[in-house]
Structure 1
Amino acid sequence: MAADEDTGLPASLATAWGFKARPSKGPKPGLSLDRIVAAAVGVAAAEGIGAVSMGRVAKELGASPMSLYRYVGAKDELYILMQETVMPAPPGPLPDGAEWRTGLTRWARAQRAVFHENLWLLRIPVSGPPASPKSVAWMEHGLAVLDGTGLDEATKLGVLMLVSGYVRNEAMLMSDLDAAITARGHSPEEVMRRYRRTLATLTDPERHPAVTRVLESNALDQADEPDADFEFGLEVVLDGVAALIARRD
């Protein structure tokens, strides 16, 4: 990743933070960084992040691929600018008297909403800790929510990594499952019924007593609501954070 000569930052971050000057005029009339990023977001939303390339974005804009490099130095720089474009500001301040759990729940739900609205974000490789303007703003908000918990700063960062990791993993899993269900043309309920029949065929009480107990219960009778699954998992994660806070106290 090339670095900006003036700041020493990777060029992608220097551009996102506004340290790197954006060209005011380009070789093609009407071409601008904002238009390039918007076109890239459009391609990702329609075809997935794998379809985003300088050539593909240039085709959308009716420009040559080389003309884009006047504005964007590389694809990883474009990725960061795309993320900055679709990422909203973090949730506003907590109401007076609200506790950390309320704030972290709202923080997690808001992140999940961003992923579900922009599933292509989940496919961008994670290349390092938060360093772009909006990702740092989200980190700032999450850390502020944990003020007053008694946790040290390193532990607060660990809590945010745990919660954001859960959110990202859940969003990716639900995205993959939804895509698979859509491709098969079955409803979630039918998929669960088929899975139940498959398990019943492949297992027996002697070798798989725990699975048998699940089959004999109503746990696989119908598909759970995705929101309910997310809330259940989030509550379990936050229960662990609450236990950590109590132990530190």
Structure 2
Amino acid sequence: MTDENQVSAEVTLLWGLRETVRRGRKPSLTVAEITRAAVEVADAEGLAAVSMARIAAHLGNATMTLYRYVKSKDELLLLMADAALDGPPDLPDDVDWRTGLTLWVKGVLTVLRRHPWAAQIPVSGPPMGPNNLWWFDRALRALAGTGLEEEDKVGVVMGLVTFVHGELRLSIDLSASYAENPEAFGRQYGMALARVVDARRFPALSRVIATGIFEGDVPYDEEVEGAFALNLYLDGVGAFIERRTAGREGRTPDGGPEREGRSSGTGPEEDRSSGTGPEEDRSSGAEPEREDRSSGAGGRAGAAPKPPGPVGGPGGSDA
């Protein structure tokens, strides 16, 4: 784009800013109607059934008519990816960040499981569609009272997006497989592992097998599996928030009160008896302590990355 005030074709499409080419008769369709029809076909027959010709037939129109509103199948998928995300739930004003993000994740997964085909649409850019940005905003709002900087909030939400994508795709596939053959998830699996796993080559896995954890038939429960992984991630977020905000709150990263006369000798307010104050001998190599942004949950070096969105879509603009 040569004009910085211009926006991409995907943005104009998603936000209804595109002018429809008008030739001949008055337009008989809208982008919203085409999108709804595509979602209906995908819900009933799967994403593979979606094509411009199939959607046109569903609407009772000629295929070429659709191209007056949507230029390609990629654009259609872009619209579908955003449409799959119904509006996010309103979070209570007094909810804490952990409860808020938990509700957010459960909400995203609930909505997208109604449209399992959405997990098959590739993620190729940051969130841009109205629904995607709506969900993005809700997650950021849940972190409002944490004291995190804005770029750190984005990092935390993007970690959740990664979790949602993995959880959604795995739960859809595994639930379908479990429905076909539940035994493959329990005793059959344990017997197969016992047969092929050699303790010398797979010592850690062998110790797990020896506990008998795979010998019973344990039902696959996507809610239980997802909750465990989500709690692990949120535990990490909690530690990250504590570490990021410790200095501003006058507390050390481990949660204890900060001491004034530190003997470490690496800060401007240290105990002068250590001989390593602000005017210390530079040859000692002591440098001011800095937090490595590349470590910890959600930590990043430099500016925040351009995030993928909750669902994703072709064209590099939808989540």
Query: TM tier, shorter chain?
Result: 0.7 to 0.9
**Alignment partner, residue 115 of structure 1:** 112
Percent identical = 39
Q: 2: distance between equivalents of 1:95 and 1:81?
A: 31
Q: 2: distance between equivalents of 1:144 and 1:31?
A: 37
Q: 1: distance between equivalents of 2:60 and 2:126?
A: 35
In structure 1, the residue corresponding to 2:127 is in which secondary structure?
A: coil
Q: 2: distance between equivalents of 1:38 and 1:215?
A: 49
More contact order relative to length (CA 8 Å, sep ≥ 6): 2
* Superposed counterparts of 1:154-233, under 5 Å: 154-182=151-179, 185-187=180-182, 189-220=183-214, 221=216, 222-233=218-229
Range 137-146 or range 228-237, more displaced: 137-146
Q: 1: distance between equivalents of 2:84 and 2:202?
A: 46
Range 155-164 or range 44-53, more displaced: 44-53
1:167-189: CA deviation from partner (whole Å, max 9, x where unpaired): 1111101112233344xx322x4
1:27–1:67 Cα contact (<8 Å) kept: no
CA 26–230 in structure 1, closer or farther in 2 if over 3 Å, else same: farther
CA RMSD across the alignment: 2.5
Q: Calculate the TM-score normalised by the size of structure 2.
A: 0.68
* Superposed counterparts of 1:1-249, under 5 Å: 8-21=6-19, 31-96=29-94, 98-182=95-179, 185-187=180-182, 189-220=183-214, 221=216, 222-248=218-244, 249=246
In structure 2, the residue corresponding to 1:83 is in which secondary structure?
A: helix
2:46–2:117 Cα contact (<8 Å) kept: yes
Shift of 1:228: 0.6
Shift of 1:135: 0.9
Shift of 1:28: 9.1
In structure 1, list runs of 5 or more residues that go unmatched.
Answer: none
Shift of 1:64: 1.9
CA 119–27 in structure 1, closer or farther in 2 if over 3 Å, else same: farther
Shift of 1:124: 0.8
The amino acid across from 1:59 in the alignment is: A
**Alignment partner, residue 298 of structure 2:** none
1:210-249: CA deviation from partner (whole Å, max 9, x where unpaired): 2222223243222342101100000000000000011112
Q: 1: distance between equivalents of 2:93 and 2:210?
A: 46
Shift of 1:85: 2.7
Higher Cα Rg, which structure: 2
Number of aligned residue pairs: give it: 241
In structure 2, list runs of 5 or more residues that go unmatched.
Answer: 247-319
CA 55–26 in structure 1, closer or farther in 2 if over 3 Å, else same: farther
1:26–1:70 Cα contact (<8 Å) kept: no
Q: Calculate the TM-score normalised by the size of structure 1.
A: 0.86
Shift of 1:18: 2.6
Shift of 1:23: 7.3
1:12–1:78 Cα contact (<8 Å) kept: no
The amino acid across from 2:32 in the alignment is: D
The amino acid across from 2:213 in the alignment is: A
